[in-house]
Amino acid sequence: MQGRTRRALVTGGARGIGRSIAETLAREGCDVAILDLDGGAEREACASQVRLLGRQAWAGVADVRDAGQVNDAIEASVAALGGLEILVNNAGIFRDQVIWKMSDEEWRDVIDVDLTGAFHCCRAAVPVMRKSGWGAIVNIASINALRGKFGQTNYSAAKAGVVGLTKALAKEVARFQITVNAVAPGLIETPAIQNMPEEAKQKARGEILLGRVGRVEDVAETVAFLCSDRARFITGEVIRVDGGQYI
């Protein structure tokens, strides 16, 4: 991060893409707060790895659907690490179902975690970043926000909302030298895709021009770039990390 220690908070940071982002940011010189609703042991394992990389770590639990819990967690992480300049909104869930079978609960759960959760975190973090006069927010979206996907009206709608949130917020906070960008992964090898039907996985693999499923590191390295001084003239963008799957 070009010689100065910055403090980052990663939601959904206990495993998968979130853990890779947390560890990559630590290697880039950031102190890292790991926030997750589940995976207590995994949360602590990620924090331990951050410390092994020579950085400070804080691990906390919060349900991003709950604004009060988010506010408390960000306040605690700022107290522990001494500030907050980077926010990565990675927390997300799937509740796949065709719309005529989708329940109100399946719709609300995905919207509340994937979209409203990102809103809660941004709203709580921006005032802290404004005081620093520098900030970087990266929201994890999806290529399905841009193209839609069968059986994912809730997820596609939530992630499309994340894209809109990203672009609008970029306009609001640019004067404070805060950048806001989104990363839109394609099919990435995570525990979440292990529950996909094999036929759906094979179809998705067949769309990827580079001929392989993405790795969590592919996403994490892109996020780290957007959080660095190398990307200070990039804001309001959506960067696909999908091996050409969207095309």
Q: What contacts 150, CB < 8 A, 6 or more positions away?
A: 98
CA nearest to 243, candidates 209, 202, 196, 217: 209
Clarify whether 246 is annotated catalytic: no
3-class secondary structure, 149: coil
CA dihedral 225, 230, 235, 237 (to 10 degrees): -50
Spot the catalytic one: 58, 94, 119, 155.
155
**Cβ neighbours, 10 Å, residue 131:** 11
DSSP symbol at 112? I
The Cα 141–Cα 148 span in angstroms is 12
Give the closest residue to 97 by CA, choosing from 150, 151, 44.
151
Cα separation, 159 vs 140, in Å, equals 8
Point out the residues that are catalytic: 155
